[in-house]
Structure 1
Amino acid sequence: MHAYRSHTCADLRKEHVGETVRLAGWVHRIRDHGGVLFIDLRDHYGVTQVLCDPDSPVFAQVEKLRSEWCVRIDGVVKARDESLVNAKLPTGEIEVYIRDMDVLGAAEELPLIVFGDQEYPEETRLRYRYLDLRRAEMQKNMTLRSDVVASIRKRMWAQDFREYQTPIITASSPEGARDFLVPSRLHPGKFYALPQAPQQFKQLIMVSGFDKYFQIAPCFRDEDPRADRSPTDFYQLDLEMSFVEQQDVFDTVAPVIAGVFEEFGGGRRVDAPGDWPQISYADSALWYGTDKPDLRNPIKMQDVSEHFRGSGFAIFAKLLEHEGNEIRAIPAPKGGSRKFCDRMNAFAQKEGLPGMGYIFWRLADLPPEAMENMDHPLRKIQREQSFAGESVFERGEIPANKYWEAAGPLAKNIGPERTEAIRQQLDLGVGDAAFFLGGKPASFERVAGKARDVIGAELELTDTDRFAFAWIVDFPMYEADEETGDIDFSHNPFSMPQGGMDALSGDPLKVLGYQYDLACNGYELVSGAIRNHRPEIMFKAFELAGYGEDEVRKRFGGMVNAFRFGAPPHGGCAAGIDRIVMLLADEQNIREVIMFPMNQRAEDLMMGAPSEPASDQLMELRLRVIPPEN
């Protein structure tokens, strides 16, 4: 018999009854039933119930066992009494009577309990991650992650891609985040960088004539942590293709992503790739307040500035006297109660805005003077009120003595004609509401996007049993610093501008790039671009962002030189592995799907990183550490 086990803790079934077996694993739970000890023995694969009575030659040893001791047991498989079968376990029809045991690894008092669903502070979980990872939920998440990566690889190979590895130690490159720098011992005063992405190398692979490349690539960025982003390193499906246009990249990566979500999504509906809309960056910001919209929520925001221009609501009317300001509405179907409207107004205040104006619609009585006068303004409004393009008055949805009344402070200030025009634009009706934000879009879009999400969730408009995808396209190449007005790249600097060299001769802020993201359920899953492979266009693009030709050659000399020797048109993208698994596992924090994550302060509490280097290490690297100021 094998030294440690003949079967795993998930293998044994009724057909094994009578066999002598050997199992190894961890003591998951111990129960004492009148002198008979029942132990749930756990390994990576499952749980088997083993038991020991006073007749066993090792009963005294078994009595000493405690949770999470690692043991090997020999015993005889017996069938459980029919009334004691545990249908929740694959091994639930049998149990193993212990006849011999060996303690492989005793455990001290545990800082966190593996059995059950107890909540522990993140610091405890990360400091003792090896114990945290023993929990069933974490085992499930890490197995899912491994299976997802294997599935992605299989799907990429099926499309004639090959996997190539790119360097981990390289030169610094502006990818939109801070580099992790690595000092060079052989070249004092010079530094390598850990790659933020294999961007330049994968483009050079295309120049080298390999046509299709992919890699499950580690990337390193010194970023501030978020719930959906690791502060140090992450993994991505990185791919690049030659002789392609934007749609070719979409058609290649979409089946891979959709297939993974169908395979591991737990039966949740996955939008077919052919149904994934392509939404411009500008429209996404207008409609959803973000470039990673959650399309499970049907709410679309709209610009309603014209209805407030010159209106009796002075705050919005004055805002609109200044160029660049807008008034946007967030429709809220079924949100037409003052209580809900006040709650959303309080939400906006918590987010740092003065509040949100609102209007809600209700069925109200026409006043006597309107009943007596067919030309009364409210009678005219009553006749014009429609829903989905049809007159609700003519359909009999409004009784002769009623009309759909707009309520709330905003409605009183702008009057019934304007509120009716807003209602018709937003296609709302009785029991619905709309919320309003104004100013420069950059000042309120983030809050508007969050408000849209909250409204969709609270009013149960969001379809939570679905993965909804959308391509976000036509990203602006450049952005201006609000304080200095300086022009810089807004996204990937290596992207081809739409229109090529001609596009770079006008206003940089109007230049769009062949850049694209794939959003799913409010998260960015994929980001990519058609690359700028023409040196003359690249120099001009960088010049507009303040980088001279000499600096471009110095910082990206390898790629610029390569483009002089017959570079093919090429493009690609990268998909975040951690974020994909987070969505599939239905987790809210990315650390739940990373084996050994950092904490919120980018510290590894388990290994003690970052740590202070020894003085001889610093001397060898010719470095000196300047202590931080108090």
Structure 2
Amino acid sequence: MMQSRTHNCNQLRLSDAGQQVQLCGWMENVREVGANFAFVVLRDFYGTTQVVIETEDMMNIVKSVNKESTLCVVGTVRERDSKNSKLPTGDIEIVPSAITILGRCQHNELPFQVNRSREADELTRLKHRYLDLRNPEVKNNIILRCNVVAALRQAMTEQGFLEITTPILTASSPEGARDYLVPARNHPGKFYALPQAPQQFKQLLMTSGFDRYFQIAPCFRDEDARADRSPGEFYQLDMEMAFASQEDVFAVCEEVLPPIFAKFGKYDIASSAPFMRIPFMEAMETYGSDKPDLRIALTVQDATESLASCGFGPFEGNVVKAIVVNEFTQTRKFIDKLMSDVEIQSGNKGYWFRLDENGEVVGGIAKFVSPIKDAVVEALGLKAGDFVGLTAGKKLAAQKTAGVLRQKLGTSVPGLMNAEQYSFCWIVDFPMYELGEESGELEFCHNPFSMPTGGMDSLLAIENGTLDPLTLTADQYDLVCNGVELSSGAVRNHDPEIMIKAFELVRLGEADVKAKFPAMYNAFTYGAPPHAGIAPGVDRMVMLLAGEESIREIIPFPMNKNAQDIMMDAPGTVGQKQLDELHIALVPVEE
């Protein structure tokens, strides 16, 4: 017996006919077909069961409550005359002898029909999330999330990792996104910060002698929302390994993730180990992105040599990239929208031409291409019926715009994308340094605590001028699936001397490192093991497994795009007494 129930609403079958049962749930729907005759759909967490009203007493009870009220139904199971093969309980119904109202819905009109809540606008859904979650389709995403997290925990434990929780209240970190700050009542003028990630703590665990650590870690970053990123709070499968290399991290991820995607994913095809490895520079050249969607059967070609001098102004003195689509049959209206979408998303224009059935250049910038048709056809390997999408600009801008064009073509032209699969790859060999857009000086490209490839020897070669710092790579890697970056990771720079030298190249000295990262630097001076780690995003992983486009669909109580919880009215105001206790004075915001 479960609580006050003998069965749940997805449990009874024809073999239970004649039994006296007690069910509890929400009154999902009522269909009256006579004076004292009606069908009631009772829904609980597990499913639905039909209840047949055949007496005046039972009808009066049902008529006295609104939909979504909670009821307890005591009655007899019988075989249905009109069976519903689409429902597990479709062969039976309940004839009630007693109906008790457990929780009355006091609203005649619901903000949306529960089973169609996903058709409502997002504001209404988030405000009434407790109703939205009653929708089995929404609820199933949360169940999926629970099952995936449980499977990840089991798999990591089987791999010899210990689950260790790290602090939520910590020190503000000088790098990365904005911190969420928490005023310290007993320390006026000082603040804790919610962790952007457990990065320093997990590295400290390695120096403490723990060999393999993981946790389903909450992370807090004050940043804007995106389709694949929730503002404020998110969760990641955080892991770190002592005496480990990049290969060790790859081996664990390739052992843990494919079975979980195979078991819980919407698609039954997934990359098997080893995942494809693509150097960062190659990814940008070939796919126009450092998180390529390998399901799309298109690559980017360099067309600078053949087209930069064709007389078309935007190409002059710039890098030109091309994407060729064979047997292209889309309309001019389609092309115009495609180019408009590319410009909106990338901020840069796209260009095009095509070869007609006779192999003549038509459309777009055809008048600039026609005089050099033969050279272009040879350079790009074109044939009659091909479409050529083009981008231009400084190298990085041309690459990124081509990446957007590739993605738009792949998702909108039939036959270019094998969508129903999970395609994994590793992006490796990220640049250690770059020139800052504003400063024009050398800066860290990504994680400053990654081990530079070649260690101290490489840094000394930069210092003495025998190595170009922009060519130095780091032992850093990203895990990508279906065009979504699941995680960044790295072999850590565990040697204080190498760490100081790496920072000196960006004009920060030993004192700066000690001041900004005192615990980690000091710990490393006591003998740190080589260590490496990664942290795949749980939210993004479940989003992919569920086949959802928005990450908010797989979070129980998500914030909106402005990092507001409109159901709980957060962030909200607090009283003056609380402000005084925390030694906080509010300053009016200028209009």
- Find out whether 1:500 has 2:470 as its counterpart: no
> Shift of the alpha carbon at 1:625?
1.4
Q: Give the structure 1 partner of residue 46 of structure 2.
A: 45
> Shift of the alpha carbon at 1:308?
2.5
Specify the code of the residue in structure 2 equivalent to 1:86.
Answer: N
Tell me, what secondary structure is at the counterpart of 1:537? helix
Specify the code of the residue in structure 2 equivalent to 1:286.
Answer: E
Q: Give the structure 2 partner of residue 113 of structure 1.
A: 113
Specify the code of the residue in structure 2 equivalent to 1:447.
Answer: T
CA contact (8 A) 2:266 2:546 kept: no
Distance 1:518 1:458 in 2: 25
Q: Mark the CA change 1:350 to 1:528 in structure 2 (over 3 Å): closer, same or farther.
A: closer
Tell me, what secondary structure is at the counterpart of 2:142? helix
Distance 2:224 2:95 in 1: 53
Specify the code of the residue in structure 2 equivalent to 1:362.
Answer: D
Deviates more, 1:477-486 or 1:495-504: 477-486
Q: Which of 433, 437, 442 does residue 487 from structure 1 map onto? A: 442
> Shift of the alpha carbon at 1:555?
1.9
CA contact (8 A) 2:320 2:398 kept: no
Q: How do 1:204-353 and structure 2 match up within 5 A? A: 204-274=204-274, 276-309=275-308, 311-315=309-313, 318-319=316-317, 325-335=318-328, 339=332, 340-351=334-345
Specify the code of the residue in structure 1 equivalent to 2:145.
Answer: R
> Shift of the alpha carbon at 1:425?
4.0
Q: Which of 408, 426, 430 does residue 475 from structure 1 map onto? A: 430
> Shift of the alpha carbon at 1:240?
0.6
> Shift of the alpha carbon at 1:294?
0.6
Tell me, what secondary structure is at the counterpart of 2:188? coil
Q: Number of aligned pairs?
A: 580
CA contact (8 A) 1:30 1:66 kept: no
Q: Give the structure 2 partner of residue 178 of structure 1.
A: 178
Tell me, what secondary structure is at the counterpart of 1:235? strand
CA contact (8 A) 1:36 1:51 kept: yes
CA contact (8 A) 1:508 1:544 kept: no
Q: Mark the CA change 1:108 to 1:570 in structure 2 (over 3 Å): closer, same or farther.
A: same
Q: How do 1:18-167 and structure 2 match up within 5 A? A: 18-34=18-34, 35-54=36-55, 57-81=57-81, 84-109=82-107, 110-116=110-116, 119-167=119-167
Distance 1:197 1:352 in 2: 29
> Shift of the alpha carbon at 1:66?
1.7
Tell me, what secondary structure is at the counterpart of 1:261? helix
Distance 1:569 1:105 in 2: 59
> Shift of the alpha carbon at 1:101?
1.5
> Shift of the alpha carbon at 1:624?
1.1
Specify the code of the residue in structure 2 equivalent to 1:446.
Answer: K
Q: Give the structure 1 partner of residue 465 of structure 2.
A: none
Tell me, what secondary structure is at the counterpart of 2:356? strand
> Shift of the alpha carbon at 1:546?
3.6
Q: Give the structure 2 partner of residue 384 of structure 1.
A: none
CA contact (8 A) 1:29 1:115 kept: no
Query: CA-to-partner distance for each residue in 1:221-278, whole Å, 9 max, x for gaps?
Result: 001111110110000000111112112211111221211111111343111122x211
Q: Mark the CA change 1:317 to 1:182 in structure 2 (over 3 Å): closer, same or farther.
A: closer
Query: CA-to-partner distance for each residue in 1:163-202, whole Å, 9 max, x for gaps?
Result: 1111111112245211111111121111111111110111
- Find out whether 1:572 has 2:553 as its counterpart: no
> Shift of the alpha carbon at 1:608?
1.3
Q: Mark the CA change 1:442 to 1:263 in structure 2 (over 3 Å): closer, same or farther.
A: same
Percent identity between the aligned chains?
Answer: 47
Structure 2: runs of 5+ lacking an equivalent:
463-467
> Shift of the alpha carbon at 1:444?
3.8
Query: CA-to-partner distance for each residue in 1:412-437, whole Å, 9 max, x for gaps?
Result: 43456x43444344344221111111
Tell me, what secondary structure is at the counterpart of 1:67? coil
CA contact (8 A) 1:335 1:341 kept: no
> Shift of the alpha carbon at 1:113?
2.3
> Shift of the alpha carbon at 1:317?
5.7
Specify the code of the residue in structure 1 equivalent to 2:112.
Answer: L
CA contact (8 A) 2:303 2:380 kept: no
Distance 1:220 1:353 in 2: 29
Q: Give the structure 2 partner of residue 448 of structure 1.
A: 402
Tell me, what secondary structure is at the counterpart of 1:273? coil
Q: How do 1:402-421 and structure 2 match up within 5 A? A: 404-408=359-363, 410-415=365-370, 418-421=372-375
Q: Mark the CA change 1:218 to 1:16 in structure 2 (over 3 Å): closer, same or farther.
A: same
Q: Which of 371, 374, 380 does residue 426 from structure 1 map onto? A: 380
> Shift of the alpha carbon at 1:210?
1.4
Deviates more, 1:578-587 or 1:418-427: 418-427
> Shift of the alpha carbon at 1:536?
0.8
Specify the code of the residue in structure 2 equivalent to 1:332.
Answer: V
Specify the code of the residue in structure 2 equivalent to 1:176.
Answer: G
TM-score, length basis structure 1: 0.88
Q: Mark the CA change 1:22 to 1:441 in structure 2 (over 3 Å): closer, same or farther.
A: same
Q: Mark the CA change 1:621 to 1:42 in structure 2 (over 3 Å): closer, same or farther.
A: same
Instruction: Please say which structure displays the higher CA radius of gyration.
Output: 1
> Shift of the alpha carbon at 1:111?
2.4
Tell me, what secondary structure is at the counterpart of 2:119? coil
Distance 1:419 1:285 in 2: 27
Distance 1:337 1:71 in 2: 56
Q: Give the structure 2 partner of residue 374 of structure 1.
A: none
> Shift of the alpha carbon at 1:482?
1.6
CA contact (8 A) 2:52 2:94 kept: yes
Q: Mark the CA change 1:476 to 1:352 in structure 2 (over 3 Å): closer, same or farther.
A: closer
Q: Give the structure 2 partner of residue 360 of structure 1.
A: 354
Q: How do 1:480-559 and structure 2 match up within 5 A? A: 480-505=435-460, 506=462, 507-559=468-520
Specify the code of the residue in structure 1 equivalent to 2:292.
Answer: P
Deviates more, 1:609-618 or 1:38-47: 609-618
> Shift of the alpha carbon at 1:447?
2.9
Distance 2:2 2:351 in 1: 73
Distance 2:249 2:224 in 1: 30
CA contact (8 A) 1:307 1:422 kept: yes
CA contact (8 A) 2:389 2:405 kept: no
Distance 1:610 1:486 in 2: 39
> Shift of the alpha carbon at 1:593?
0.5
CA contact (8 A) 1:227 1:589 kept: yes
Tell me, what secondary structure is at the counterpart of 1:144? helix
Deviates more, 1:299-308 or 1:500-509: 500-509
Distance 1:169 1:317 in 2: 52
Distance 2:442 2:378 in 1: 40
Output the aligned Cα RMSD. Answer: 2.0
CA contact (8 A) 2:488 2:534 kept: yes
Tell me, what secondary structure is at the counterpart of 1:526? strand
Q: How do 1:602-617 and structure 2 match up within 5 A? A: 602-617=563-578
Tell me, what secondary structure is at the counterpart of 1:580? helix
Q: Give the structure 2 partner of residue 371 of structure 1.
A: none
Query: CA-to-partner distance for each residue in 1:497-534, whole Å, 9 max, x for gaps?
Result: 11112222424333211111111111101210000000
Specify the code of the residue in structure 2 equivalent to 1:454.
Answer: K
Tell me, what secondary structure is at the counterpart of 1:116? helix
CA contact (8 A) 1:406 1:420 kept: no
Distance 1:521 1:575 in 2: 14
Distance 2:383 2:9 in 1: 60
Q: Mark the CA change 1:500 to 1:619 in structure 2 (over 3 Å): closer, same or farther.
A: same
> Shift of the alpha carbon at 1:19?
0.7
